A and B are shown apart, each in its own frame.
Chain A
Amino acid sequence: MLEEALEHLVKGIVDNPDDVAVDLINGRRGKTLEVRVHPDDLGKVIGRGGRTAKALRQVMTGVGGRGLRVDVVDTDGR
Protein backbone atom coordinates (compact mmCIF):
# COMPACT_ATOMS: atom_id res chain seq x y z
CA MET A 1 0.00 0.00 0.00
CA LEU A 2 2.76 2.45 0.94
CA GLU A 3 4.82 1.62 -2.15
CA GLU A 4 1.78 1.99 -4.35
CA ALA A 5 0.84 5.33 -2.79
CA LEU A 6 4.31 6.77 -3.25
CA GLU A 7 4.56 5.38 -6.75
CA HIS A 8 1.30 7.08 -7.65
CA LEU A 9 2.37 10.41 -6.14
CA VAL A 10 5.68 10.35 -8.04
CA LYS A 11 4.26 9.11 -11.34
CA GLY A 12 1.97 12.12 -11.46
CA ILE A 13 4.79 14.65 -11.34
CA VAL A 14 7.41 13.26 -13.73
CA ASP A 15 7.93 13.16 -17.51
CA ASN A 16 8.60 9.42 -17.54
CA PRO A 17 6.02 7.74 -15.29
CA ASP A 18 6.80 4.29 -16.71
CA ASP A 19 10.31 4.56 -15.30
CA VAL A 20 9.15 5.10 -11.71
CA ALA A 21 9.86 2.23 -9.33
CA VAL A 22 9.38 2.11 -5.58
CA ASP A 23 10.70 -0.61 -3.28
CA LEU A 24 9.90 -1.05 0.37
CA ILE A 25 12.99 -2.15 2.30
CA ASN A 26 12.57 -3.59 5.78
CA GLY A 27 15.86 -2.75 7.41
CA ARG A 28 17.08 -3.04 10.97
CA ARG A 29 16.44 0.65 11.46
CA GLY A 30 12.92 0.54 10.11
CA LYS A 31 11.19 0.78 6.80
CA THR A 32 12.58 2.67 3.84
CA LEU A 33 10.83 3.44 0.60
CA GLU A 34 13.38 3.62 -2.19
CA VAL A 35 12.30 5.65 -5.20
CA ARG A 36 13.91 5.26 -8.60
CA VAL A 37 13.06 7.54 -11.49
CA HIS A 38 14.39 8.30 -14.95
CA PRO A 39 17.63 10.31 -14.57
CA ASP A 40 15.99 13.24 -16.35
CA ASP A 41 13.29 13.31 -13.68
CA LEU A 42 15.58 13.42 -10.65
CA GLY A 43 15.31 17.18 -10.46
CA LYS A 44 11.55 17.02 -10.53
CA VAL A 45 11.34 14.52 -7.70
CA ILE A 46 13.81 16.44 -5.55
CA GLY A 47 12.55 19.90 -6.40
CA ARG A 48 14.01 23.32 -5.75
CA GLY A 49 15.98 23.11 -2.54
CA GLY A 50 14.68 19.61 -1.93
CA ARG A 51 11.17 20.91 -1.60
CA THR A 52 9.41 18.17 -3.55
CA ALA A 53 11.29 15.36 -1.82
CA LYS A 54 10.36 16.97 1.47
CA ALA A 55 6.69 17.05 0.49
CA LEU A 56 6.82 13.38 -0.52
CA ARG A 57 8.41 12.51 2.84
CA GLN A 58 5.85 14.54 4.74
CA VAL A 59 2.94 12.77 3.08
CA MET A 60 4.44 9.30 3.40
CA THR A 61 5.39 9.66 7.07
CA GLY A 62 1.94 11.09 7.70
CA VAL A 63 0.44 7.98 6.19
CA GLY A 64 3.00 5.34 7.15
CA GLY A 65 4.30 6.58 10.48
CA ARG A 66 7.23 8.64 11.72
CA GLY A 67 9.82 5.89 11.28
CA LEU A 68 9.22 5.54 7.57
CA ARG A 69 12.08 6.81 5.41
CA VAL A 70 11.89 7.91 1.81
CA ASP A 71 15.08 7.76 -0.26
CA VAL A 72 15.35 9.08 -3.77
CA VAL A 73 18.00 6.84 -5.33
CA ASP A 74 20.38 8.52 -7.72
CA THR A 75 20.65 6.03 -10.56
CA ASP A 76 22.51 8.40 -12.82
CA GLY A 77 25.42 5.95 -13.07
CA ARG A 78 28.52 7.45 -11.52
Chain B
Amino acid sequence: MSTPQSSTETETALPDADPVDADAVVEPVDVLEDDTTDAEDTDGDEDDEEDDEEDDLLVQEGDVAGDYLERLLDILDVDGDIDLDVEGDRASVAVVGDELTTLIGPGGATLEALQELTRLAVAQSTGTRSRLMLDIGGFRAKRRADLTELAGQAASRVAASGTAERLSPMNPFERKVVHDVIAAADGVRSESEGEEPNRRVVVLPAS
Protein backbone atom coordinates (compact mmCIF):
# COMPACT_ATOMS: atom_id res chain seq x y z
CA MET B 1 0.00 0.00 0.00
CA SER B 2 2.81 2.43 0.73
CA THR B 3 4.47 1.85 -2.64
CA PRO B 4 1.73 2.01 -5.22
CA GLN B 5 4.20 2.63 -8.03
CA SER B 6 5.02 -0.81 -9.29
CA SER B 7 8.00 -1.46 -11.51
CA THR B 8 5.64 -2.10 -14.40
CA GLU B 9 5.01 1.57 -14.81
CA THR B 10 8.63 2.47 -15.43
CA GLU B 11 9.59 -0.60 -17.38
CA THR B 12 6.92 -0.17 -19.99
CA ALA B 13 8.38 3.37 -20.26
CA LEU B 14 5.87 5.17 -22.39
CA PRO B 15 6.88 8.71 -23.21
CA ASP B 16 4.25 9.99 -20.84
CA ALA B 17 5.17 7.84 -17.89
CA ASP B 18 7.52 10.30 -16.20
CA PRO B 19 5.17 13.03 -15.12
CA VAL B 20 2.87 10.54 -13.45
CA ASP B 21 5.78 9.16 -11.50
CA ALA B 22 6.99 12.62 -10.69
CA ASP B 23 3.55 13.56 -9.49
CA ALA B 24 3.48 10.56 -7.22
CA VAL B 25 7.05 10.78 -5.99
CA VAL B 26 6.86 14.39 -4.85
CA GLU B 27 4.12 13.53 -2.39
CA PRO B 28 3.62 9.79 -2.20
CA VAL B 29 0.88 10.11 0.37
CA ASP B 30 -1.26 11.81 -2.23
CA VAL B 31 -1.21 8.85 -4.56
CA LEU B 32 -4.08 7.20 -2.78
CA GLU B 33 -6.36 10.11 -3.48
CA ASP B 34 -4.94 10.70 -6.89
CA ASP B 35 -5.77 7.42 -8.46
CA THR B 36 -8.70 8.41 -10.62
CA THR B 37 -6.27 8.53 -13.49
CA ASP B 38 -2.75 7.83 -12.36
CA ALA B 39 -1.20 5.28 -10.09
CA GLU B 40 -3.93 2.65 -9.94
CA ASP B 41 -1.23 0.08 -10.13
CA THR B 42 -1.11 -1.40 -6.66
CA ASP B 43 -1.82 -4.85 -7.96
CA GLY B 44 0.37 -4.60 -11.04
CA ASP B 45 3.26 -6.56 -9.62
CA GLU B 46 2.15 -9.88 -10.99
CA ASP B 47 1.89 -8.87 -14.63
CA ASP B 48 5.44 -7.72 -15.38
CA GLU B 49 6.36 -10.13 -18.13
CA GLU B 50 2.99 -10.68 -19.66
CA ASP B 51 2.65 -8.07 -22.34
CA ASP B 52 0.44 -10.13 -24.61
CA GLU B 53 -1.83 -11.06 -21.79
CA GLU B 54 -1.87 -7.42 -20.81
CA ASP B 55 -3.06 -6.41 -24.27
CA ASP B 56 -5.73 -9.07 -24.14
CA LEU B 57 -6.75 -7.75 -20.76
CA LEU B 58 -7.06 -4.22 -22.13
CA VAL B 59 -9.26 -5.45 -24.97
CA GLN B 60 -11.35 -7.36 -22.45
CA GLU B 61 -11.58 -4.22 -20.30
CA GLY B 62 -12.92 -2.31 -23.26
CA ASP B 63 -15.51 -4.97 -23.98
CA VAL B 64 -16.82 -5.02 -20.42
CA ALA B 65 -16.84 -1.23 -20.25
CA GLY B 66 -18.61 -1.01 -23.60
CA ASP B 67 -21.36 -3.39 -22.47
CA TYR B 68 -21.79 -1.57 -19.16
CA LEU B 69 -22.14 1.83 -20.84
CA GLU B 70 -24.20 0.65 -23.78
CA ARG B 71 -26.79 -0.83 -21.46
CA LEU B 72 -26.89 2.44 -19.51
CA LEU B 73 -27.51 4.40 -22.72
CA ASP B 74 -30.30 1.96 -23.61
CA ILE B 75 -32.01 2.39 -20.27
CA LEU B 76 -31.73 6.16 -20.41
CA ASP B 77 -32.88 6.17 -24.02
CA VAL B 78 -29.85 8.20 -25.03
CA ASP B 79 -28.38 7.84 -28.51
CA GLY B 80 -24.67 7.15 -28.53
CA ASP B 81 -22.08 4.87 -30.01
CA ILE B 82 -19.24 3.28 -28.11
CA ASP B 83 -15.73 3.44 -29.57
CA LEU B 84 -13.16 1.11 -28.05
CA ASP B 85 -9.42 1.52 -28.37
CA VAL B 86 -6.17 0.85 -26.58
CA GLU B 87 -3.96 3.88 -25.96
CA GLY B 88 -0.54 3.02 -24.61
CA ASP B 89 -1.10 0.88 -21.54
CA ARG B 90 -4.74 1.78 -21.04
CA ALA B 91 -8.06 0.82 -22.50
CA SER B 92 -9.78 3.83 -23.99
CA VAL B 93 -13.55 4.01 -24.21
CA ALA B 94 -15.42 6.84 -25.91
CA VAL B 95 -19.15 7.45 -26.00
CA VAL B 96 -19.91 9.38 -29.17
CA GLY B 97 -23.14 11.21 -29.85
CA ASP B 98 -24.85 14.56 -30.12
CA GLU B 99 -26.90 14.75 -26.94
CA LEU B 100 -24.60 13.60 -24.20
CA THR B 101 -24.35 16.73 -22.05
CA THR B 102 -26.27 15.16 -19.17
CA LEU B 103 -23.68 12.39 -19.06
CA ILE B 104 -20.80 14.88 -19.04
CA GLY B 105 -22.10 17.15 -16.30
CA PRO B 106 -20.72 20.45 -15.05
CA GLY B 107 -16.99 20.57 -15.69
CA GLY B 108 -17.09 16.89 -16.61
CA ALA B 109 -18.17 15.81 -13.10
CA THR B 110 -20.63 13.19 -14.34
CA LEU B 111 -18.10 11.92 -16.84
CA GLU B 112 -15.57 11.45 -14.03
CA ALA B 113 -18.18 9.61 -11.95
CA LEU B 114 -19.09 7.35 -14.85
CA GLN B 115 -15.43 6.62 -15.46
CA GLU B 116 -15.05 5.65 -11.82
CA LEU B 117 -18.08 3.33 -11.96
CA THR B 118 -17.01 1.84 -15.28
CA ARG B 119 -13.57 1.06 -13.86
CA LEU B 120 -15.22 -0.66 -10.91
CA ALA B 121 -17.48 -2.66 -13.22
CA VAL B 122 -14.46 -3.73 -15.25
CA ALA B 123 -12.54 -4.70 -12.10
CA GLN B 124 -15.56 -6.64 -10.89
CA SER B 125 -15.63 -8.59 -14.14
CA THR B 126 -11.90 -9.11 -14.79
CA GLY B 127 -10.66 -9.28 -11.21
CA THR B 128 -7.99 -6.72 -12.02
CA ARG B 129 -7.92 -3.03 -11.22
CA SER B 130 -8.62 -0.94 -14.31
CA ARG B 131 -7.12 2.40 -15.38
CA LEU B 132 -9.29 2.78 -18.44
CA MET B 133 -9.98 6.26 -19.74
CA LEU B 134 -13.53 7.24 -20.57
CA ASP B 135 -14.49 10.11 -22.83
CA ILE B 136 -18.02 11.25 -23.54
CA GLY B 137 -19.07 13.53 -26.37
CA GLY B 138 -15.46 14.51 -27.02
CA PHE B 139 -15.25 16.36 -23.70
CA ARG B 140 -11.83 15.03 -22.72
CA ALA B 141 -10.45 15.39 -26.22
CA LYS B 142 -11.38 19.07 -26.25
CA ARG B 143 -10.12 19.60 -22.71
CA ARG B 144 -6.87 17.93 -23.68
CA ALA B 145 -6.44 20.25 -26.67
CA ASP B 146 -7.22 23.35 -24.60
CA LEU B 147 -4.85 22.31 -21.81
CA THR B 148 -2.09 21.45 -24.25
CA GLU B 149 -2.26 24.98 -25.58
CA LEU B 150 -2.43 26.51 -22.10
CA ALA B 151 0.52 24.45 -20.88
CA GLY B 152 2.56 25.31 -23.96
CA GLN B 153 2.01 29.00 -23.35
CA ALA B 154 2.91 28.68 -19.68
CA ALA B 155 6.07 26.78 -20.61
CA SER B 156 7.15 29.57 -22.99
CA ARG B 157 6.50 32.26 -20.39
CA VAL B 158 8.36 30.43 -17.62
CA ALA B 159 11.30 29.54 -19.86
CA ALA B 160 11.58 33.20 -20.91
CA SER B 161 11.05 34.81 -17.51
CA GLY B 162 12.66 32.23 -15.24
CA THR B 163 9.73 32.73 -12.87
CA ALA B 164 7.59 29.80 -11.72
CA GLU B 165 3.87 29.82 -12.49
CA ARG B 166 1.05 28.19 -10.57
CA LEU B 167 -1.77 26.94 -12.78
CA SER B 168 -5.41 26.62 -11.78
CA PRO B 169 -6.54 23.57 -9.78
CA MET B 170 -7.06 20.57 -12.04
CA ASN B 171 -8.18 16.99 -11.75
CA PRO B 172 -5.64 14.16 -12.21
CA PHE B 173 -6.42 13.73 -15.90
CA GLU B 174 -5.90 17.42 -16.56
CA ARG B 175 -2.68 17.58 -14.56
CA LYS B 176 -1.29 14.65 -16.47
CA VAL B 177 -1.94 16.40 -19.78
CA VAL B 178 -0.08 19.46 -18.50
CA HIS B 179 2.81 17.44 -17.04
CA ASP B 180 3.23 15.68 -20.39
CA VAL B 181 3.43 18.97 -22.27
CA ILE B 182 5.91 20.46 -19.78
CA ALA B 183 8.05 17.31 -19.88
CA ALA B 184 8.38 17.68 -23.64
CA ALA B 185 9.22 21.40 -23.49
CA ASP B 186 12.72 22.85 -23.11
CA GLY B 187 13.87 24.81 -20.10
CA VAL B 188 10.98 23.97 -17.81
CA ARG B 189 9.85 21.29 -15.39
CA SER B 190 6.67 20.75 -13.40
CA GLU B 191 5.45 19.63 -10.03
CA SER B 192 2.07 19.24 -8.38
CA GLU B 193 1.16 20.87 -5.11
CA GLY B 194 -1.83 21.09 -2.79
CA GLU B 195 -4.61 18.69 -1.93
CA GLU B 196 -7.55 17.56 -4.03
CA PRO B 197 -9.71 19.16 -5.23
CA ASN B 198 -7.33 22.12 -5.23
CA ARG B 199 -4.25 20.27 -6.38
CA ARG B 200 -2.48 22.19 -9.12
CA VAL B 201 0.51 22.08 -11.40
CA VAL B 202 3.43 24.42 -10.85
CA VAL B 203 5.60 25.15 -13.88
CA LEU B 204 9.20 25.94 -12.90
CA PRO B 205 12.32 26.87 -14.80
CA ALA B 206 14.53 23.81 -15.27
CA SER B 207 17.40 24.00 -12.81
CB distance from B84 to the nearest CB of A (A): 17
Return the chain A residue nearest B109 by Cβ: A58
Interface residue? A5 (CB, 8 A): yes
9 A-B residue pairs with Cβ-Cβ distance under 8 Å, sorted by A, are A8-B71, A12-B120, A13-B117, A13-B121, A44-B120, A55-B116, A58-B109, A58-B110, A62-B105
Q: Are A58 and B113 in contact (CB under 8 A)?
A: yes
Chain A positions near chain B (C-beta within 8 angstroms): 1, 4-5, 8-9, 12-15, 44, 47, 51-52, 54-56, 58-59, 62-63
Give the nearest-CB partner of B114 in chain A.
A59
Among residues of B, the one whose C-beta sits closest to the C-beta of A55 is: B113
B76 interfacial contact with A, CB 8 Å: yes
Number of B residues with CB within 8 Å of any CB on chain A: 20
Q: How far is the CB of A46 from chain B (nearest CB, A)?
A: 12
In the complex, which residues of chain A have a beta carbon less than 8 angstroms from the beta carbon of B202?
none
10 tightest A-B contacts by CB? A12-B121, A58-B113, A62-B110, A55-B113, A13-B120, A55-B116, A62-B105, A5-B75, A59-B113, A4-B75
**Contact flag A1-B116 (CB < 8 Å), given A13-B124, A62-B102, A62-B105:** no
A8 is contacted by which of B72, B105, B114 (Cβ under 8 Å)?
Answer: B72
By a beta-carbon cutoff of 8 Å, the part of chain B in contact with chain A is 68, 71-72, 75-77, 102-103, 105, 109-110, 112-114, 116-117, 120-121, 124-125
**How near does chain B come to A75, taking the closest CB pair, in angstroms?**
20
Q: Which residues of chain A are within 8 angstroms of B116 by Cβ–Cβ distance?
A: 51-52, 55
Residue of A nearest to B104 (CB): A62
Distance to closest chain A CB from B113 (angstroms): 4
On chain B, the residues within 8 Å of A12 by CB distance are 68, 117, 120-121, 124-125
For B110, the chain A residues whose CB sits under 8 A away are 58-59, 62-63
How near does chain B come to A36, taking the closest CB pair, in angstroms? 18
Kindly report which residue of chain A lies nearest to residue B110, judged by CB atoms. A62
The answer to whether A1 and B77 touch across the interface, beta carbons within 8 angstroms, is yes
| Cβ-closest chain B residue relative to A62 | B110
A52 to B178, CA, bound (A): 27
User: How close is A53's CB to chain B, nearest CB, in angstroms?
Assistant: 11
Complex-state Cα separation, A62 to B75, whole angstroms: 15
The distance from the CB of B117 to the nearest CB of chain A, in whole angstroms, is: 5
